[in-house]
Structure 1
């Protein structure tokens, strides 16, 4: 009887331990999901604010907002293009690595532009804007170059695959259409 009690107690302890582990993992997953969702919501709100600021703030403020929009658009669309083809093309791993490094520069530049948006001294904004604009142009050009290369690579791979498939289908179609008429079997004569 004592052994049965120990076995039941062990099963209860194992069940409690597994339930605790499952609960902790679930809580962590929910926490990550909420954090990710919050970051995405903040980013969406900030993007809408930038677009509104571009049209409502005349002069330098609108230019700074436009630079931030251009920078974010180039980075986001390049990440989307690389992510769309990265799992199926291992050659894009190096491009993804370079894009991650470029993204760090873009984040730093976006931070500088964000500070510049809040700068009350318009002469300071006007003095810094050409240099920051040049840097934004370099980052967006680099991101665009990676995105276009990834898109060209995907298009080329698709075109090559389609050409190969078309050739195989033509061969198979010809084989299906090629037949030699067979002689009908000779039936025995009625008296045979």
Structure 2
């Protein structure tokens, strides 16, 4: 008779996600995952597959959680400017008790050039981010908050590049005040 699982898959997947996010794929060993996730090695294989498959599932989990969080922030915003300010603050500070930076950005830098699956998941996530930024820019252009001289697609690509840069910079000791100046100027240029 098959044994029932004695753990919540999403809880242990979140633990794996945070460990990969903090350490990267290559630095994270299966032993690290067993210790951090609080499950047996066999349970990891039975539930998630091998380390690479677990990593891809962690990337999916991260994308879904961040997308839901940012979409919720945008929906609660009263103006497009406020929505962008909230997104930039999220990029700079992240969530409480989370590693700095971004799992997608970190993974793209670490692995995308030699791992087609990671490249695909990273670029899909980046496309979602750009679409969210485009929607906000269009909102701001329609309400007269932002200049309409430039195409919203082009502006979204530019803002996304700024966001990626900010996510990388949050992993350094650069002061948050500098990151805010960069974000504020990016909004003003719209």
Taking structure 1 as the reference length, what is the TM-score of the superposition?
A: 0.29
Larger Rg: 1
By percentage of residues, which structure has more helix?
1
